[in-house]
Amino acid sequence: MTSQTTLSSEARENVKDEAFDVAPNWKLVWWRFKKHRLALVSAFVLFGIILIALFPDFFSIQDPNKSSARESFMPPQGISFFHDGSFQVHVKPLKGKRNPTTLKMEWGVDKKRILPLRFFTSGYEYEVFGLFKTDLHLFGIEKPSARNSFHLLGTDRLGRDQWSRLMHGTRVSLSIGLVAVGLSIFLGILLGGISGYYGGWPDLVIQRLIEILQSLPPIPIWMALTAALPRDWTVEQTYFAITLILSLLGWTTLGREVRGRFLSLREEDFVMAAKLSGCSQSRIIFRHMLPTFTSHIIATSTLAIPVMIINETFLSFLGLGLRPPAISWGVLLQEAQNLQSIALAPWLLLPGLAVIFTVLALNILGDGLRDAADPYS
Amino acid sequence: MTNQPLLEVRDLQTVFELDEGTVKAVDGVSFDVYPGRVLGIVGESGCGKSVTIKSVLRLIEEPGRIANGAIRFRSKILGNSSAEMVDLVQLPAKSAQLRALRGNEIALIPQEPMAAFSPVHTIGNQLMEVIQLHQPVSNEEAKKIAVNRLKEVGVPNPEGAMDRYSWELSGGLRQRAMIGMALTCDPLLLIADEPTTAIDVTTQAQVLSLLRKLQQEHQTSIIFITHDLGVIAQLADDVVVMYLGKVMESGPVDQIFHNPQHPYTRALLRSIPTVHTKNRSRLPTISGSIPHPFQKRSGCPFVARCQEALPQQKCANQAPVLKAINEHQSVSCFLHQGGGNVS
Amino acid sequence: MSVESTQSKLTANTPMPPERLLDVKQLKKYFPIRKGFFKSVVGQVRSVDGVTFHLNQGETLGLVGESGCGKTTTSRCLLRAINPTSGEIRYRQADGQLVDVTKLASDELRPLRREMQMIFQDPFASLNPRMNLLDLVGEPLLVNGVANRKERSDRVADLLRLVGLRPEYMRRFPHAFSGGQRQRIVIARALALNPRLVVADEPVSALDVSVQAQVLNLLLDLQEQLKLTYLFVAHDLSVVRHISDRVAVMYVGRIVEMSPTDELFLAPKHPYTAALLSAVPVADPRIRSKMQPLEGDVPSPSNPPSGCHFHPRCPFATELCRQQAPDLEEVQPNHFVACHRQAELSLLGVSEPT
Ligand SMILES: Nc1ncnc2c1ncn2[C@@H]1O[C@H](COP(=O)(O)OP(=O)(O)OP(=O)(O)O)[C@@H](O)[C@H]1O
Ligand SMILES: Nc1ncnc2c1ncn2[C@@H]1O[C@H](COP(=O)(O)OP(=O)(O)O)[C@@H](O)[C@H]1O
Ligand code: SF4
Ligand code: SF4
Ligand SMILES: [Mg+2]
Ligand SMILES: [Mg+2]
């Protein structure tokens, strides 16, 4: 009887072992990553942010460029869930009154009415990736008008809806981060790989280049380069130029890391074994060397994205990066540049929170990935 | 062995609590160290040798802890009379008492001496620092003691070596300097964790004969850890054989090598290659491999590989305990516990 | 330093005897030492400094020496894993043709690589952790033209069975195996292309004591079954005694003695060999040896002593030894020694097997 139970429990253990035994690398990484709760949460948050970046219009309430002089500096409207004791998601409309002495608009809540909040409502019409047109939005109120307006995060000086602008800014800022990091990865792997795998004079040249690039003070260089961009370039042109500048200066760290990995991998026994069993050079690089550090590259790049985002925000904030009518987090924060507007409309600082959230989430995710990346340690 | 032990380890259990589960790195280890004798602890990689002596030195850090057992040491500093023993497990982890004990009465020679020396101070400075930490002497005197120590451990040109850095010395010289440092305060107990594993045979021979000479001159007790049975045979007076965190057999060195009682000891002795065989001869082997430490086990740790395992699953279901089979020798195996008739 | 004088009789340009598989003559590998910003060469590490030996078909030659004496470098040069600085490595191919491995261009090496394989010291480092057994053992087959997946997995199953692993393990990854099992995988991979010569660089040094014997026995069995020739590199003399037909002893980049195993262990003729043998701790407390350890340290190959490299540590050294390097000479049939005084010395070996 006892022997029976031990046998079956042993058998069960064997089956459990089996999953581990035949688990390829990505599974081991995933198992380790799953244990990192905070990183898992960050991954979900980022997934949401990426959805926003993909479909900013769907999440917007109003056309981000629509301005209305009469609605400038409206404060955020909170969402309430109960009305008259029953469940009803709604917002309270705002009522403006001009202060007779300062001549400024002062907004107060109109307690008499409520504006019910609708989900999947129709609003302004927009195009999805140039494929089709729709007017579907995640939420909004019915028939917005001057009297019945809804601005979740308030409005700016020109009366533009800040929530919708934030959604669109997310697309630009996140994509600059991603594209710039993507370009840096490409440059880093290419140049670092050449440097590390072939050695010799290409290595010497690339090493010196990296040293020179890293010894340059980054902030003045960015400022000089971005300031040199022609003022009459279109939004798209500046966008690509900025991305290019950020990645041209940003690939060096990754390049160094890739070079170091190649150098140490070249000496690894399993690479030597592959060479001795007759593998071609490209097979050695792509089947044996690159896969051993892809997870590290992913982790490193995840940690590099927030740096890029902050750089872009910083440049745009100084007015050197993207300029209106482009919308990015930096451009939005530019609105909150002077003390007067901060005192008058502190909600203009809210895009800063978006930056902090995203950067934090990316950093936590990157840390989690880095810890999970090496299941063989 | 009429005198009393210097160190008594009883039922020591040290565990590491990891995400994957709890590893019982040391699981009920007991042994004695007698004054002026060399105890050899032998076992394969991962069997818990280092964790055992780290526990004795109270150097176990998170996520590890000593879960059970007693480590009684006859300390001259801490004990009131020579008859009293201090249980090191009871002392607070970072107490001054432990620190005093570690420098003065128990010294360690680590496996990798490179890591034990600071690379930014000369050997001489480090030796003098240790000397002055424990003896109130002037710089000149400390220097003289240090030079003498280096001479004693056979460092050629000891004055010159005082001004060198650890990384400038060869592996053998570094290990000698380490031994010199460990001996500065005339410890009662010297613990050497595989001091010769990282060095070559000819250098190993130098270090072993040095240790043997010093031990005879100073009558220091030594715990010597190794996985090399040859080294144990040459140096130890008593031997503890470990497997998977447990003591399989312990006893005087001659008994262990010439009258081994535990199936693991016997199999190990049979399977090691020696220079005294004919060439191209097949070796008797121990089948299988060491189980993974996370694997849950019931019964005797050696059961899966034991050729003498008892029928009816006794060995698989019940764990044997370490029991004395005669005056000196103890064995943890059912063959010696009336658990079955030896056939 | 007369490099030319180390030219021994063995290296005379004779045709290779028919039983020879490999003939290595005056093999040298110097690594440059670079320093400074411009990485200029300031010296050389003479890792392998004129090594001469041969391998007969179907035998095992043990190559022993202390760490840093050039064993790994020698074995890597044989397979052209690194390019030797100079010397000759003549190899008899399966079709009987003689080639000089040092002269081949890298594309000419590929067919040769099927015939020569390597087993590495560290079974954890020599298997790509991202490939399962089928891919690992099957890779040499794949890159050498066995494209059919079924055919490959059948062959891999055969190979796994051959080295004592269950073919059902084929989908597992290396992390599921212990050190000894991994070394079996490494061996299976090395055997995939039916090599004739296997260079094993310390194949059991990283294994647990209780597992070493299993792997040694496996290597012996495979040799008999598959008529393999081994160059077995090790620092552990007892392991070498068990597996080798002949043994070559290396010291600072040179071979100092080479002879049939029993002869070398029982009656060594070179003072270094004798010192090495006496330094091995005997696993018997009743033979507490006289252990007279050698003085001093192994010299650095970047700055070796003049004349006989062993003279600073040799108890028998004379003025001649300091000035002139001895040649490796055949003092008895099949027994080569490089020592000026070998004829007058009578050295102690290990005791007879009991
Ligand atoms: N800091 C730690 N964290 C987790 N597990 C540990 C730690 N230190 C040791 N262990 C585990 O405890 C067990 C015993 O390890 P220990 O270092 O004592 O072995 P050893 O006998 O000294 O081996 P070796 O001959 O390799 O030095 C092993 O299973 C090891 O994985
Ligand atoms: N790539 C290299 N560059 C410089 N020196 C090397 C290199 N490889 C080996 N050496 C040196 O060559 C000598 C012999 O090394 P090796 O053949 O690995 O010795 P062994 O295998 O006998 O321990 C050592 O001194 C080592 O430091
Ligand atoms: S208890 Fe049983 S399994 Fe364990 S060593 Fe003794 S005979 Fe072998
Ligand atoms: S040649 Fe001289 S120094 Fe060298 S081993 Fe022979 S006797 Fe010793
Ligand atoms: Mg240890
Ligand atoms: Mg080596």
- Which of C295, C289, C291 shows the shortest CA–CA distance to C313? C295
Higher pLDDT, B293 or B118: B118
Q: Hey, whose CA ends up nearest to atom 11 of ligand 1?
A: B25
Strand, coil or helix: what is A366?
helix
Is residue B119 predicted with pLDDT exceeding 50?
Answer: yes
Is residue A360 predicted with pLDDT exceeding 80?
Answer: yes
In a domain, A42, yes or no: no
CA distance A105 to A157: 12
What residues does C249 pair with on adjacent strands? C64, C257
Same domain, A88 and A220: no
- Which of A297, A218, C149, C276 shows the shortest CA–CA distance to B200? C276
- Give which of B20, B298, B300, B318 to mutate to test A binding, by max A Cβ within 10 Å: B298
Q: Which 244-263 residues of chain C touch chain A by CB within 8 A?
A: none
| Residues of chain B found within 8 Å of residue C123, distances taken between Cβ atoms | none
Neighbours of ion ligand 5 (CB under 5 A): B 50
Is C267 within 8 Å of C260 (Cβ atoms)?
no
Task: Please tell me the total count of domains within chain A.
Answer: 2
Unique residue bearing structure tokens 């050039």: C70
* Residue of C214, C242, C293 with shortest CB distance to B205: C293
Same domain, A140 and A200: no
Ligand 2, atom nearest to C70 Cα = 17
Q: What is the pLDDT, as a whole number, of residue A18?
A: 65
To 5 degrees, how large is the angle CA B93–CA B95–CA B100? 115
Stretch C97-123: mean pLDDT = 89
Same domain, A254 and A341: yes
- List of residues 6+ apart from B111 with CB closer than 8 A: B50, B193, B194, B195, B197, B198
| Residues of chain C found within 8 Å of residue A296, distances taken between Cβ atoms | none
Ligand 2, atom nearest to C31 Cα = 4
Same domain, A146 and A246: no
Is residue C11 predicted with pLDDT exceeding 60?
Answer: no
CATH superfamily of C2-124+196-244: P-loop containing nucleotide triphosphate hydrolases (3.40.50.300)
Q: Hey, whose CA ends up nearest to atom 2 of ligand 2?
A: C31
Choice among B230-244, B281-295, B318-332, C294-308 with the minimum mean pLDDT? B281-295
Whether residues B19 and A6 touch (CB distance < 8 A) is answered with no
Q: What's the gap in Å between the CA of B177 and the closest CA on chain C?
A: 14
Same domain, A116 and A208: no
CA distance B124 to B143: 7
Q: What's the gap in Å between the CA of B312 and the closest CA on chain A?
A: 9
Whether pTM > 0.90 for this model: the answer is: no
**Last residue of some domain: A150, A173, A199?**
A150
**pLDDT digits 0-9 by tens, B35-71:** 999 999 998 888 899 999 999 999 888 888 999 999 9
Q: What is the pLDDT, as a whole number, of residue C265?
A: 93
For residue C43, give the ligand nearest its CA. Answer: 2
**pLDDT digits 0-9 by tens, A129-173:** 878 888 888 888 777 776 777 887 888 777 788 888 888 888 888
User: Rounded to 5, what percent of chain A is helix, strand, coil?
Assistant: 60, 10, 25
For residue B263, give the ligand nearest its CA. Answer: 3
In a domain, A6, yes or no: no
Q: What's the gap in Å between the CA of B292 and the closest CA on chain C?
A: 8
Q: Hey, whose CA ends up nearest to atom 3 of ligand 3?
A: B303
Strands annotated E in chain C: 20-35, 40-56, 60-64, 86-92, 98-100, 116-119, 197-201, 229-234, 246-251, 254-260, 329-332, 335-337
Unique residue bearing structure tokens 């160290």: B33
CA distance B146 to A360: 54
Choice among A97-101, B5-9, B225-229 with the minimum mean pLDDT? A97-101
- CATH number for the domain spanning A190: value is 1.10.3720.10
Is residue A26 predicted with pLDDT exceeding 90?
Answer: no
Q: What is the pLDDT, as a whole number, of residue A14?
A: 45
Tell how far the Cα of B26 is from the centroid of ligand 1, in angstroms. 9
Tell how far the Cα of A188 is from the centroid of ligand 4, in angstroms. 55
Strand pairing report for C229-234 and C197-201: parallel
Tell how far the Cα of B46 is from the centroid of ligand 1, in angstroms. 5
Q: Hey, whose CA ends up nearest to atom 17 of ligand 2?
A: C70
Is residue C129 predicted with pLDDT exceeding 70?
Answer: yes
Same domain, A132 and A182: no
Whether residues B233 and C261 touch (CB distance < 8 A) is answered with no
Unique residue bearing structure tokens 């087959």: C141
In a domain, A179, yes or no: yes
Ligand 3, atom nearest to B303 Cα = 3
Tell how far the Cα of B225 is from the centroid of ligand 5, in angstroms. 8
In a domain, A20, yes or no: no
Whether residues B298 and A6 touch (CB distance < 8 A) is answered with yes
Is B225 within 8 Å of B38 (Cβ atoms)?
no
To 5 degrees, how large is the angle CA A189–CA A190–CA A194? 105
Residue type, C188: A
Q: Is B285 on the interface with C (CB under 8 A)?
A: yes
Q: What is the pLDDT, as a whole number, of residue B222?
A: 95
**Last residue of some domain: A91, A123, A150?**
A150
Is B284 within 8 Å of B309 (Cβ atoms)?
no
Q: Is the CB of B310 under 6 A from ligand 3?
A: yes
Residue span of the structural domain in which A239 resides:
165-373
Same domain, A115 and A248: no
Q: What Rg value do the Cα atoms of chain C yield, rounded? A: 21
In a domain, A32, yes or no: no
Higher pLDDT, B241 or A30: B241
Whether residues C291 and B173 touch (CB distance < 8 A) is answered with no
Q: What is the pLDDT, as a whole number, of residue B287?
A: 83
Q: How many CB atoms lie within 10 A of CB B77?
A: 11
Same domain, A303 and A215: yes
Q: What percent of chain B stands above pLDDT 70?
A: 94
**pLDDT digits 0-9 by tens, B151-173:** 888 887 888 888 888 888 877 78
> Residue C353: pLDDT band by 50, 70, 90 thresholds?
low
Count of pairs with CB atoms under 8 A, one residue in A, one in C: 78
| Residues of chain A found within 8 Å of residue C37, distances taken between Cβ atoms | none
Residue of A nearest to B299 (CA): A6
CA distance A330 to C293: 74
| Residues of chain A found within 8 Å of residue C202, distances taken between Cβ atoms | none
- List of residues 6+ apart from A58 with CB closer than 8 A: A136, A137, A138
- List of residues 6+ apart from A104 with CB closer than 8 A: A98, A344
**Last residue of some domain: A126, A150, A174?**
A150
Same domain, A169 and A146: no
Is B137 within 8 Å of B88 (Cβ atoms)?
no
Is residue B7 predicted with pLDDT exceeding 90?
Answer: yes
Stretch A309-314: mean pLDDT = 81
Tell how far the Cα of B292 is from the centroid of ligand 5, in angstroms. 16
To 5 degrees, how large is the angle CA A234–CA A61–CA A239? 20
Q: What is the pLDDT, as a whole number, of residue C354?
A: 60
Same domain, A97 and A175: no
Is B20 within 8 Å of B294 (Cβ atoms)?
yes
**pLDDT digits 0-9 by tens, C167-188:** 888 888 888 888 888 999 999 9
- Dmax over Cα atoms in chain B, in whole Å? 71
Q: Is the CB of C341 under 6 A from ligand 4?
A: yes
Q: What is the pLDDT, as a whole number, of residue A268?
A: 85
Q: What is the pLDDT, as a whole number, of residue A344?
A: 76
Q: Is A198 on the interface with C (CB under 8 A)?
A: no
Higher pLDDT, A41 or A335: A41
Unique residue bearing structure tokens 């190794």: B226
* Residue of B19, B296, B313 with shortest CB distance to A3: B313
DSSP state of C308: S
Is B270 within 8 Å of B71 (Cβ atoms)?
no
Q: What percent of chain B stands above pLDDT 90?
A: 31
Is B13 within 8 Å of B89 (Cβ atoms)?
no
Q: Hey, whose CA ends up nearest to atom 14 of ligand 2?
A: C70
Q: What percent of chain C stands above pLDDT 90?
A: 57
User: In this predicted complex, what is the ipTM?
Assistant: 0.83
Residues in chain A whose beta carbon is closer than 8 A to a beta carbon of chain B?
2-3, 6, 13, 35
Residue B335, both tokens = 């063959």
> Residue A13: pLDDT band by 50, 70, 90 thresholds?
very low
Q: What is the pLDDT, as a whole number, of residue C7?
A: 39
| Residues of chain C found within 8 Å of residue A28, distances taken between Cβ atoms | 175
Same domain, A175 and A231: yes
**pLDDT digits 0-9 by tens, A67-111:** 777 777 778 887 777 777 778 777 777 777 777 777 677 777 777
Same domain, A134 and A222: no
Q: Which span out of A120-134, C143-157, C289-303, C321-335 was modeled with the highest average pLDDT?
A: C321-335
| Averaged confidence pLDDT in chain A | 79
Higher pLDDT, A87 or C120: C120
